């Protein structure tokens, strides 16, 4: 460029002076500016190429060449010059009349116009100025006094490309970015003109998106060379809405299980599409662009720090920042409450969980101990449905569970001697009334109840001289109801003698004398049992054995005592026997908490049986509380502390009640009877005084699992079929409304599994169950979770893990 400038300056000073150069001198003169092509002033035109001149004193003009070939040159630029030299090698001057330059070439023709003396030459530079791509040709024709001379010219125009580069591939409302125009892939100093159809762009290429973007759009930004307006480039830049940002939430801590209004501030909140807390979608209201109001529905099992996240949907969507919300769990965690209710009631419902969480386990038990029993006696008859409906009542739950446990120890058959009606509800009434009272009261009530009298043949059991009373009740009152067959330590383990042998609690002759001691009782009224099921038997002294009775080793009742005195002595003896505490404690623990309590656990409960803290022996309410609140019972509330060997398999009745509570199903009438019979546990009708299964039933591995005695292949299949029938609303007497179940309307597979995990598994759902349910949902992707609930919950409650209270 410096050379060109110099030429221009030079020309300015010398004007259009024709230089006559000395021979041999060679000064190259260049034209300046544009538009130098064309035809100069012409006088005598000659024609012909090559040389022309006269023969005598004849000029002879020759050109330095016949063809100029230019290197490829970018469109819009000017090539470096190529010289054409016109020489007069003749002997006379010649005249160049005109020079005509055609095509995209130009030259300062004035340098060679006019007279060219003999032996002189002139040189002019030819420039290539392509304005388009491709091969371009032209010519430089000299009209001279000797004729015309022509030089061809050709060159290739190379197209120029302008591009726009940018760091940002998209911008949001109000954001800026520096754009750079590049010419043929390299930076250029050529002036560039910028313009845009959206937002603004500065002359030096800083683009700024518009300030009120309400929908995603695209800005088109165009750059063009100032010099060559046809050389342009356009960038399409996506412009999105501003991302909402959350900056604060008030309050920062809320309670689990509640719905709380949160005020969340931030920016651009009008663009917010969705808000989640702990991954679950929340309902919210937009107050302004900087404030929203959220109905934060916290699950009852939530606790600890939870993330609040927002998002804007759409092609320009994205996530907000994260706020932390602290969720305050209730004193009892949700999972612990569910687990507790599986032990102390008939499984968890959201309402029951809330009650336990709010009251705490100890106060909840205290309240249950105070709640009056359901009046089974006045509702007697075939009230099987009522029994099961009561398992769904928070009022009777614990009393009924304990009564159920006691019914496995103090066993009668509801139909024995009752004619057409089932006397079971009367027995239920006895057990429920005594469940939280004193065990001595329970024992005497059991001994005198006519249902027991009929069932174990102690009613009308007479002792005459030479005729012995039957021993049925006498034996089982000891073996099954109070002290068992061998002496026990207070931790429930067997006492061993010096030879390592078990020590029997009684002998066959003790049994015979126990029968004598219990002889003489008869029904108080004539007629069938149904009319007197709550009327204690009365003593017929004439039937009572009058001799002395050695009822236990070391315990002899003196001769001549009246029947009721003997009975009281028997009851006192058994009630105060050291075996009774650990014996009954173990059974209550097995039914409520675990089949295999540690000896220490049994000992702690037996100690409460021996003394409730107020010097009272046999306070069953206190014993029940000790069973449920013992550290061994509560250990598994923390999953990390759970003992892998704890828990018990659910008996069919307990399972049925748990399942129905889980789905909040309805026992519509008494037809539940068909189901509990088929499942192997007809209410009030155990197969024998040994109840439905043995407390000592062992698995092959030698651990106790009493209820698993009923887990045969036949029962298993029957049970599966019945539950499925109930869940699909095909079982008469049952109704399940899935729309109102706690599992309906799950927002996602995760949401559904979370509910199952907490409500059914107290947060300890095994992976195999999770995988099975997940796979099932995935395999039926065309169906909604709602429509699959009968299948899904059926599977969830059929797992071994669900059926094992742990």
Partner 1 sequence: MNRREFLKYASRITMGAGAAPLIPRLISAPLLAQAGGSNSGYRAIVCVYLDGGNDGNNTVIPADSYYSQYATGRAALAIDRTSLLNLKATSGGRLFGLHPSLKNVASLYNQGHATWLCNAGPLTTPYKKGQTTVRVPLNLFSHSAQAAEWQSALTQADSSNGWAGRLADLLAKQNLSSSPIVVSTSGWQLLGSGTTTELASIGAGNNAVAVLNALQSLTPSLNQMDSASSSNSLSNTISEMQSGHLSTTKLLLDAASTGASIQTKFPNTYIGQQLQVIAQMISGRSRFDVNRQIFLSSVSGYDTHTLQLSQQASNLTDLDGAVGAFAAAMQEINMFDQVTLFTMTDFARAHQMNSGGGTDHAWGNHHLIVGGAVKGGDMYGTFPSLVIGGDDDFATSGLWIPTTSGSQYAATLAQWLGVQSKDLSNVFPELSNFSKSTLGFLG
- Chain residues 572-611 in contact with partner 1, contact rule CB under 8 A: 595
671 makes contact with partner 1 (CB under 8 A): no
Please identify which residue in 457, 528, 611, 751 interacts with partner 1, judged by CB under 8 A: 457
Distance between CA atoms of 587 and 175, rounded to whole angstroms? 74
Q: 3-state SS of 262-307? A: EEEEEECHHHCCEEEECCEEEEEEEEECCEEEEEEECCCCCCEEEE
Q: For partner 1, which residue of 77, 460, 534, 685 counts as binding (CB under 8 A)?
A: 460
Using the rule CB under 8 A, is 83 a contact of partner 1? no
325 touching partner 1, by CB under 8 A: no
498 binds partner 1 (CB under 8 A): no
In the complex with partner 1, the residue whose CB is nearer, 377 or 801, is 801
In the set 27, 197, 295, 776, which binds partner 1 (CB under 8 A)? 776
* Terminal-to-terminal C-alpha distance of the chain: 92
| Contacting range for partner 1; rule: CB under 8 A; set: 111-119, 222-230, 457-465, 613-621 | 457-465
Alpha-carbon torsion, ordered 5, 10, 16, 20, to 10 deg: -130
Nearer Cβ to partner 1, position 63 or 689?
689
CB of 632 to partner 1, least distance (A): 15
For partner 1, which is the closer residue by CB, 193 or 596? 596
Runs of H (alpha helix) within 508-613: 508-517, 563-576, 580-592, 599-610
CB of 527 to partner 1, least distance (A): 19
Q: Which is nearer to partner 1, 440 or 544 (CB)?
A: 544
> Which of positions 523-562 make contact with partner 1 (CB under 8 A)?
none
Query: Contact with partner 1 (CB under 8 A): which of 69, 712, 747, 787?
Result: 712
The verdict on 182 binding partner 1 (CB under 8 A) reads no
Of positions 259, 720, 784, 787, contacts partner 1 by CB under 8 A: 720
Residue 502 binding partner 1, by CB under 8 A: yes
Q: Taking contact as CB under 8 A, which single stretch among the options 51-59, 95-103, 411-419, 797-805 is the one that binds partner 1?
A: 797-805
- Identity of the residue, 245 or 698, whose beta carbon is nearer to partner 1 in the bound complex: 698
Question: Which residue lies nearer to partner 1 by CB, 110 or 595?
Answer: 595
Separation CA 43–CA 64 (nearest Å): 23
d(C-alpha 231, C-alpha 164), whole Å: 12
Q: Of 25-33, 56-64, 411-419, 759-767, which part binds partner 1 (CB under 8 A)?
A: 759-767
Q: Which of 19, 307, 525, 717 binds partner 1 (CB under 8 A)?
A: 717
Please state, in angstroms and rounded to a whole number, the distance separating the CA atoms of residues 367 and 361.
Answer: 10
Instruction: Report the residue number, 23 or 498, with the smaller CB distance to partner 1.
Output: 498
CB of 323 to partner 1, least distance (A): 35
Among the listed residues 97, 157, 153, the one whose alpha carbon sits nearest the alpha carbon of residue 126? 153
> What distance in Å separates the CA atoms of residue 79 and residue 382, rounded to the nearest whole number?
114
- How crowded is residue 118: how many other Cβ atoms within 10 Å of its Cβ? 17
The phi, psi pair for 190, rounded to 5°, reads -65, 140
Min separation Cβ 722 and partner 1, Å: 8
Q: Which of 540, 572, 529, 580 is nearest to 427 (CA)?
A: 529
Residue with Cβ nearer partner 1 (129 or 709): 709
CA 680-683-686 angle, to 5 degrees, is: 65
650 in Cβ contact with 611 (< 8 Å): no
Could you say which of 647, 686, 706, 763 contacts partner 1 (CB under 8 A)? 647
- Least distance (Å) between residue 779 CB and partner 1: 9
- Residue 463 contacts partner 1 per CB under 8 A: yes
16 or 767: whose CB is closer to partner 1?
767
331 binds partner 1 (CB under 8 A): no
Using only C-alpha atoms, the chain has a radius of gyration, in whole angstroms, of 54
What is the helix (H) or strand (E) element at residue 779, kind and residue range?
helix 767-779
> Is residue 503 a contact residue for partner 1 (CB under 8 A)?
no
Of residues 687-706, which lie at the interface with partner 1 (CB under 8 A)?
Answer: 687-690, 694, 696-703, 705
Binding window for partner 1 (CB under 8 A); candidates: 131-139, 233-241, 301-309, 788-796: 788-796
Query: 77 or 764: whose CB is closer to partner 1?
Result: 764
- Tell me: does residue 725 bind partner 1 (CB under 8 A): yes
Yes or no: say if 751 and 297 are a contact pair by the CB < 8 Å rule.
no
CB 495 within 8 Å of CB 479: no
**DSSP conformational letter for 147:** E
- Work out whether strand 206-208 and strand 147-158 pair parallel, antiparallel, or are unpaired: unpaired
- Cβ-count burial of 619 within 10 angstroms (0-12 exposed, 13-18 middle, 19+ buried)? buried
Q: How far is the CB of 618 from partner 1 (least distance, A)?
A: 25
Verify binding: residue 98, partner 1, rule CB under 8 A.
no
Binding residue for partner 1, selected from 57, 504, 560, 613, defined by CB under 8 A:
504
Alpha-carbon span 105 to 383, nearest angstrom: 115
| Side-chain-side CA neighbours of residue 212 (13 Å) | 0
Q: Cβ–Cβ contacts within 10 Å for residue 747, how many?
A: 11
Contacts of partner 1 in 466-485 (CB under 8 A) = 467-472, 475, 479, 485
Contacts to partner 1 from residues 605-644, by CB under 8 A? 642, 644
Q: How far apart are CA 619 and CA 671, in angstroms?
A: 37
Is 433 an interacting residue with respect to partner 1 (CB under 8 A)?
Answer: no
Residue among 274, 416, 764, 786 that touches partner 1 (CB under 8 A): 764
The DSSP bridge partners found for residue 305 are 326
CB of 772 to partner 1, least distance (A): 4
Closest to partner 1 by CB, 376 or 727: 727
> Taking the mean position of all CA atoms in its chain, how far away is CA 771?
14
Name residues contacting partner 1, limited to 102-141 (CB under 8 A). Answer: none
Q: How many residues bind partner 1 (CB under 8 A)?
A: 81
**What's the closest the beta carbon of residue 726 comes to partner 1, in angstroms?**
12
Q: Which is nearer to partner 1, 196 or 407 (CB)?
A: 407
How far, in Å, CA of 447 to CA of 462, rounded? Answer: 15
Q: Residues 136 to 175: which contact partner 1 by CB under 8 A?
A: none
With CB under 8 A as the contact rule, the residue among 714, 739, 778, 782 that binds partner 1 is: 714
Q: Out of 259, 261, 313, 509, which residue is the one contacting partner 1 (CB under 8 A)? A: 509
For partner 1, which residue of 769, 785, 789, 793 counts as binding (CB under 8 A)?
Answer: 769
Count of C-beta atoms within a 10 Å radius of residue 174 = 14
| Shortest distance (Å) from residue 388 CB to partner 1 | 21
CB atoms within 10 A of CB 530: 17
Tell me how far, at minimum, the Cβ of 605 lies from partner 1, in Å. Answer: 20
Q: Which is nearer to partner 1, 282 or 519 (CB)?
A: 519
How far are the Cα atoms of 171, 488, 550, 641 from residue 23, in angstroms, in the given order?
70, 143, 163, 114
Please report which helix (H) or strand (E) contains residue 351, including its range. helix 350-359
Q: Cα separation of 547 and 509, whole Å? A: 14
Coil, strand, or helix at residue 528?
A: coil
């Amino acid at each position: 460029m410096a050379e060109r400038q110099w030429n221009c300056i030079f020309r300015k000073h010398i004007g259009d002076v024709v230089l006559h150069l000395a021979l041999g001198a060679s000064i190259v003169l260049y034209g300046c500016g544009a538009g130098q092509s064309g035809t100069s002033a012409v006088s005598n035109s000659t024609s012909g190429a090559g040389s022309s001149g006269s023969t005598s004193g004849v000029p002879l003009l020759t050109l330095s060449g016949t063809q100029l070939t230019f290197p490829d040159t970018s469109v819009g630029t000017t090539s470096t010059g190529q010289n054409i030299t016109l020489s007069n090698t003749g002997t006379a001057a010649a005249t160049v009349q005109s020079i005509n330059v055609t095509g995209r070439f130009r030259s300062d023709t004035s340098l060679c116009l006019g007279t060219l003396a003999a032996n002189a030459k002139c040189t002019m530079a030819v420039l290539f100025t392509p304005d388009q791509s491709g091969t371009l040709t032209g010519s430089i024709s000299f009209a001279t006094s000797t004729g015309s001379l022509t030089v061809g010219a050709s060159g290739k125009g190379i197209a120029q490309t302008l591009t726009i580069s940018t760091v940002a591939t998209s911008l949001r409302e109000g954001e800026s970015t520096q754009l750079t125009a590049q010419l043929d892939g390299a930076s250029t100093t050529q002036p560039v003109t910028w313009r845009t159809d959206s937002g603004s762009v500065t002359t030096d290429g800083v683009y700024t998106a518009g300030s009120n973007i309400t929908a995603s759009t695209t800005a088109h930004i165009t750059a063009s060379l100032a010099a060559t307006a046809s050389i342009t480039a356009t960038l399409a830049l996506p412009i999105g809405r501003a991302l909402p940002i959350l900056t604060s939430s008030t309050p920062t801590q809320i309670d689990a299980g509640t719905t709380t209004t949160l005020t969340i501030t931030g920016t651009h909140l009008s663009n917010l599409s969705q808000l989640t807390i702990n991954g679950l979608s929340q309902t919210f209201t937009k107050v302004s662009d900087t404030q929203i109001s959220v109905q934060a529905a916290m699950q009852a099992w939530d606790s600890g720090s939870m993330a609040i996240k927002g998002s804007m949907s759409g092609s320009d969507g994205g996530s907000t920042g994260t706020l932390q919300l602290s969720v305050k769990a209730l004193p009892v965690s949700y999972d612990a409450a569910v687990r507790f209710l599986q032990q102390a009631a008939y499984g968890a419902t959201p309402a029951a969980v809330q009650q336990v969480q709010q009251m705490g386990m100890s106060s909840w038990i205290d309240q249950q101990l105070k709640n009056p029993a359901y009046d089974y006696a006045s509702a007697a008859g075939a009230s099987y449905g009522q029994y099961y409906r009561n398992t769904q009542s928070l009022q009777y739950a614990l009393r009924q569970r304990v009564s159920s446990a006691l019914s496995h120890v103090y066993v009668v058959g509801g139909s024995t001697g009752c004619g057409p009606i089932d006397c079971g509800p009367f027995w239920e009434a006895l057990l429920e009334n005594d469940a939280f009272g004193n065990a001595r009261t329970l024992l005497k009530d059991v001994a005198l109840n006519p249902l027991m009298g009929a069932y174990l043949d102690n009613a009308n059991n007479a002792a005459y001289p030479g005729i012995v009373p039957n021993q049925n009740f006498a034996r089982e009152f000891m073996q099954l109801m109070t002290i068992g067959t061998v002496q026990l330590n207070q931790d429930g383990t067997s006492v061993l003698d010096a030879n390592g042998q078990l020590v029997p609690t009684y002998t066959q002759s003790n049994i015979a004398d126990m029968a004598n001691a219990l002889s003489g009782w008869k029904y108080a009224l004539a007629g069938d049992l149904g009319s007197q099921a709550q009327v204690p038997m009365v003593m017929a002294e004439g039937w009572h054995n009058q001799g002395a009775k050695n009822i236990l080793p070391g315990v002899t009742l003196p001769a001549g005592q009246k029947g009721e005195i003997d009975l009281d002595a028997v009851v006192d003896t058994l009630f105060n026997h050291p075996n009774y505490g650990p014996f009954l404690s173990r059974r209550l623990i097995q039914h409520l908490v675990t089949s295999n309590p540690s000896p220490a656990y049994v000992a702690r409960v037996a100690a409460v049986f021996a003394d409730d803290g107020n010097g009272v022996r046999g306070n069953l309410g206190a014993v029940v509380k000790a069973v449920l609140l013992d550290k061994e019972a509560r250990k598994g509330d923390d999953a990390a502390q759970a003992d892998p060997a704890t828990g018990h398999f659910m008996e069919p009745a307990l399972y049925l009640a748990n399942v129905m509570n889980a789905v909040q199903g309805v026992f519509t009438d008494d037809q539940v009877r068909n189901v509990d019979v088929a499942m192997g546990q007809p209410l009030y009708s155990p197969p024998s005084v040994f109840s439905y299964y043995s407390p000592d039933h062992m698995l092959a591995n030698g651990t106790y699992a009493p209820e698993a005695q009923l887990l045969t292949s036949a029962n298993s299949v029957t049970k599966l079929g019945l539950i499925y029938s109930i869940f699909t609303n095909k079982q008469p007497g049952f109704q399940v409304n899935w729309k109102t179940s706690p599992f309906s309307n799950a927002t996602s597979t995760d949401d559904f599994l979370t509910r199952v995990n907490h409500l059914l598994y107290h947060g300890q759902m095994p992976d195999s169950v999770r995988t099975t349910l997940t796979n099932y949902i995935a395999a039926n992707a065309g169906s909604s979770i709602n429509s699959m609930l009968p299948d899904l919950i059926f599977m969830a409650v059929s797992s071994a893990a669900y059926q094992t209270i742990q």
